[in-house]
């Protein structure tokens, strides 16, 4: 088989975007597996591959097998793929150790795109960091070549480091989005439009393109403006006590971080 062949295990958001981008950049996607046949068919049609809903139909026709499934499905799927022989099998998970694949395959690794994907948005792969790892040097080279086809910056990260990167990602993505959600809810409860804070959300993110967030912190907490902080805590208690607790924990953390930085 040619070296630039890949099989996609999974047809969710990550499989969808990785598959499309590999297909567009010289990789032949030979098979697409999903437990939902219609999902496999849909993605397979886009990338010109054979759809499967039974892993027993997975052949040895690919050089790389990309496991783009949920974390908890990785091991289960792996157990049903052992018939493919001596092939390179990689998962796309930030938080799962590569060694979860070791009982099933001799050649294994990780191909983790550190980005949030949705069906509604086309990702810009030229800016998506790809975190790579492999059990053998030659296989790492193959993953580097695959990453190069996608166009983004690449990082070789061992399990411990990748898990840390994933933790940081959860904090700046999931938690940040939750703060957006709370902001939107506060406005909605007072019949104010979300549009009021959308430009601020964008600017807050844009700022860190060129500046470290430590230098960009403003607001009542870091100013030590207790009057405003206490007024906000009281307001939130009236809206939703849980948000008041969250405000307090975050404000305390901002102040403590400032004290640590200034060495006091």
Rounded to the nearest whole angstrom, what is the least distance from the CB of residue 42 to a copy of itself in the complex? 21
Tell me the number of residues near a copy of itself by CB under 8 A.
Answer: 91
Quick check: 11 and 39 in contact, CB under 8 A? yes
User: Interface with a copy of itself includes 263 (CB under 8 A)?
Assistant: no
Window contacting a copy of itself (CB under 8 A); options: 56-64, 100-108, 140-148, 176-184 = 176-184
Query: What are φ and ψ of residue 11, in 5° steps?
Result: -140, 30
Using CB under 8 A, pick the residue from 59, 149, 187, 237 that binds a copy of itself.
187
The piece of 2-10, 75-83, 134-142, 153-161 that touches a copy of itself (CB under 8 A) is: 153-161
Question: Nearest-CA neighbor of 107 among 149, 72, 65?
Answer: 65
Q: Which is nearer to a copy of itself, 5 or 257 (CB)?
A: 257
164 is a contact residue toward a copy of itself (CB under 8 A): yes
DSSP 94: S
Residue 221 interacting with a copy of itself (CB under 8 A): yes
Select the residue interacting with a copy of itself from 170, 224, 226, 230 (CB under 8 A): 170
Query: Would you state the structure tokens that stand for residue 96, as one six-digit string?
Result: 């799962």
Segment interacting with a copy of itself, rule: CB under 8 A, options 14-22, 52-60, 79-87, 126-134 = 126-134
Exactly one of 181, 224, 226, 259 binds a copy of itself (CB under 8 A); that residue is: 181
> For the chain, what is the total number of helices (H) and then of strands (E)?
11, 8
Which residues from 49-108 bind a copy of itself, rule CB under 8 A?
71-72, 95
Q: Where do the H-state alpha helices sit in the chain?
A: 13-24, 37-47, 74-79, 137-150, 159-170, 176-189, 198-207, 213-216, 220-223, 226-239, 241-262
DSSP 48: T
Of 83 and 178, the one with the shorter C-beta distance to a copy of itself is 178
Phi, psi angles (nearest 5°) of residue 28: -95, 120
Q: Which of 218, 262, 263, 264 binds a copy of itself (CB under 8 A)?
A: 218
| CA-to-CA dists, residue 234 to 111, 182, 219, 244, angstroms | 47, 16, 17, 7
Q: Which of 115, 149, 151, 159 binds a copy of itself (CB under 8 A)?
A: 115
């Amino acid at each position: 088989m040619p070296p630039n062949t890949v099989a996609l295990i999974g047809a969710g958001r990550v499989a969808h975007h990785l598959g499309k981008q590999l297909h567009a950049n010289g990789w032949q996607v030979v098979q697409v597996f999903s437990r939902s046949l219609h999902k496999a068919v849909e993605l397979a049609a886009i990338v010109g591959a054979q759809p499967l809903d039974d892993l027993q139909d997975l052949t040895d026709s690919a050089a790389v097998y990309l496991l783009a499934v949920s974390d908890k499905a990785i091991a289960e799927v792996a157990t049903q793929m052992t018939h493919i022989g001596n092939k390179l099998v990689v998962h796309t998970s930030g938080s799962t150790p590569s060694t979860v694949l070791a009982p099933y395959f001799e050649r294994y690794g990780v191909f983790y795109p550190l980005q949030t994907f949705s069906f509604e948005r086309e990702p810009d792969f030229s800016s998506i960091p790809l975190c790579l790892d492999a059990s053998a040097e030659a296989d790492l080279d193959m993953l580097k070549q695959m990453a190069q086809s996608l166009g983004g910056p690449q990082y070789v990260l061992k399990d411990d480091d990748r898990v840390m990167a994933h933790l940081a990602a959860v904090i700046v993505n999931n938690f940040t989005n939750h703060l957006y959600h709370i902001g939107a809810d506060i406005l909605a409860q007072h019949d104010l439009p979300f549009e009021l804070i959308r430009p601020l959300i964008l600017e807050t993110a844009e700022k860190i393109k060129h500046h470290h967030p430590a230098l960009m912190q403003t607001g009542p907490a870091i100013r030590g403006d207790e009057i405003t902080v206490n007024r906000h805590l009281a307001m939130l208690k009236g809206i939703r006590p849980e948000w008041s607790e969250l405000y307090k924990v975050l404000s305390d953390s901002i102040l403590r971080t400032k004290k640590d930085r200034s060495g006091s």
